[in-house]
């Protein structure tokens, strides 16, 4: 049954769209059939042009062409509210129909001009072309072939470096106690690094901090000479210089020593320094604070012990030891002496003390009014104990197999 414009009972946009679709697919089909026939060598040219005229008239004739039927059957009878919608669709459809008709005209007239022999060879070229196209598509598909059984590309996730992770953890413990964070330069002056920390020039305690001095500074006064800092303690001075008491700070950072690398030494490592200065701060506060910090880092069953020591900037000074986390402080493990604590049951972990009154003199604090404590710990040393690492060099070699274990 050839297509005729159907009467509509529903003038909703959806119904109109579907009616238009039906009409356009009808003309498409008729056009294809017409052009196909025109390409046949066996059909006479006169029949081709006659059929083209029939096709054109059927769709575009003023009287009863499909396009004019559209106006009669759809537009004229559309309810007033739908007129605008119908009108727009009729116009747009008319344009498409005209396009199809002129395309059909062009192609049919072309075929009608050709001799049967030429059409014959056209068909051959056409089918060769199809074969070629098929081959091209096939090889393109071959190229794009996707082996879904291959493993995907893994994008490994980075992990926080164990030293930074430990440093953040230590800082976190003190932040929770209300400490703030300060940083200082890695290249320090003799003044901040030694003199203001109560290491007088030529004092033998300087020898315990063997470091690298920047060359060619002989003409400068000693206090201005630059060196790589061996500890974070100068940040204590810088902090007190710019802040009035009370002060509670932790100072994480990198330090340098003139040490040959081995399993327990590295020329570069990290420290976290701490300083609390206020009125009436006592050694009890120091003990309580560090005991709490060690329990927070190593677990609540860890005990601490304060062992007399010496640092020029604290008086009295102490080394803090924790009960050995490998043998639970017993000194023996697996029936033999514990190697980690050399059978003593204790592991030395950090230095601390009450700030020496001389230090207050360098920062304009009144030593008769304030008191305070300071401490300094090695981050790698704590990481080694926490994670059971047996060689400090592993932290600096960048071996992913080591590092990824901390992800
Ligand atoms: N600066 C010392 C060092 O690197 C560690 C230290 C000891 C820091 C006692 C302190 C302290 O603040 O009070 O060996």
* Tens of pLDDT, residues 6-39: 999 999 999 999 999 999 999 999 999 999 999 9
127 pLDDT tier (thresholds 50, 70, 90): confident
pLDDT at 402 over 90: yes
Whole-number Å distance, alpha carbon 274 to ligand 1 midpoint, is: 9
For residue 376, the ligand 1 atom closest to its alpha carbon is 8
Q: Hey, which of 306, 351, 353, 381 would you mutate to test ligand 1's pocket, going by the most ligand atoms within 8 Å of its Cβ?
A: 351
The rounded distance, in Å, linking the Cα atoms of 290 and 351 is 11
Residue pair 251/146 in contact by the 8 Å Cβ criterion = no
Q: Hey, which of 184, 233, 360 would you mutate to test ligand 1's pocket, going by the most ligand atoms within 8 Å of its Cβ?
A: 233
For residue 273, the ligand 1 atom closest to its alpha carbon is 12
DSSP 287-339: HHHHHHHHHHHH-TT--EEEEEEEETTEEEEEEEEEE-TTTTTSSEETTEE-T
What does the pLDDT read at residue 219?
A: 93
Whole-number Å distance, alpha carbon 271 to ligand 1 midpoint, is: 9
Per-residue pLDDT reduced to its tens digit, 72-115: 999 999 999 999 999 999 999 999 999 999 999 999 999 999 99
**Region 187-200 average pLDDT:** 95
Cβ(314) – ligand 1 distance below 6 Å = yes
**Region 215-240 average pLDDT:** 95
Whole-number Å distance, alpha carbon 234 to ligand 1 midpoint, is: 10
pLDDT at 208 over 80: no
Per-residue pLDDT reduced to its tens digit, 45-54: 999 999 999 9
Whole-number Å distance, alpha carbon 354 to ligand 1 midpoint, is: 11
Per-residue pLDDT reduced to its tens digit, 327-379: 999 999 999 999 989 999 999 999 999 999 999 999 999 999 999 999 999 99
Whole-number Å distance, alpha carbon 155 to ligand 1 midpoint, is: 42
pLDDT at 210 over 80: no
256 closest CA partner among 240, 288, 286, 234: 234
Cβ(356) – ligand 1 distance below 6 Å = no
Cβ(74) – ligand 1 distance below 6 Å = no
Cβ(184) – ligand 1 distance below 6 Å = no
Average pLDDT for the chain: 94
311 closest CA partner among 394, 231, 406, 224: 231
Cβ(311) – ligand 1 distance below 6 Å = yes
Q: What's the pTM value of the predicted model, to 2 decimals?
A: 0.66
Strand partners, 160: none
């Amino acid at each position: 049954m050839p297509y005729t414009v159907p009467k509509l009972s529903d003038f909703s946009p959806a119904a109109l769209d579907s009616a238009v679709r039906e009409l356009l697919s009808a003309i498409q089909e008729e056009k294809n059939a017409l052009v196909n026939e025109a390409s046949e060598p066996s059909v006479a040219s006169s029949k081709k042009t006659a059929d083209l005229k029939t096709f054109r008239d059927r769709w575009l004739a003023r009287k009863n062409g499909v396009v004019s039927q559209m106006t009669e059957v759809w537009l004229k009878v559309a309810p007033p509210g739908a007129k605008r919608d119908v009108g727009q669709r009729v116009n747009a459809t008319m344009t498409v129909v005209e396009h199809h008709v002129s395309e059909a005209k062009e192609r049919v007239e072309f075929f009608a001009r050709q001799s049967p022999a030429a059409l014959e060879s056209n068909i051959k070229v056409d089918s060769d072309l199809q074969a070629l196209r098929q081959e091209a598509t096939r090889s393109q598909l071959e190229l794009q072939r996707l082996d879904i059984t291959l493993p995907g590309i893994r994008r490994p996730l980075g992990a926080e470096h164990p030293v930074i992770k430990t440093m953040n953890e230590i800082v976190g413990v003190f932040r929770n106690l209300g400490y703030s964070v300060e940083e200082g330069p890695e290249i320090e002056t003799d003044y901040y690094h030694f003199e203001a920390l109560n290491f007088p020039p030529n004092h033998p305690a300087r020898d315990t901090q063997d470091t690298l001095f920047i060359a060619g500074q002989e003409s400068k006064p000693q206090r201005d000479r630059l060196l790589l800092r061996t500890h974070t303690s100068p940040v204590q001075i810088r902090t007190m210089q710019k802040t009035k008491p009370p002060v509670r700070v932790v100072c994480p950072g990198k330090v340098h020593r003139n040490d040959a690398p081995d399993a327990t030494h590295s020329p570069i490592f990290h420290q976290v320094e701490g300083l609390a200065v206020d009125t009436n701060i006592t050694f009890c506060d120091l003990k309580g604070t560090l005991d709490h910090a060690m329990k927070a880092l190593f677990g609540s069953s860890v005990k601490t012990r304060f062992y007399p020591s010496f640092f020029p900037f604290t008086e009295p000074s102490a080394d803090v030891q924790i009960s050995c986390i490998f043998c639970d402080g017993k000194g023996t493990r697996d029936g033999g002496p514990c190697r980690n604590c050399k059978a003593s049951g204790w592991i030395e972990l950090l230095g601390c003390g009450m700030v020496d009154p001389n230090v207050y003199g360098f920062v304009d604090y009144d030593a008769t009014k304030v008191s305070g404590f300071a401490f300094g710990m090695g981050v790698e040393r704590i990481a080694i104990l926490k994670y059971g690492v047996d060689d400090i060099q592993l932290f600096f070699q960048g071996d992913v197999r080591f590092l990824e274990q901390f992800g």
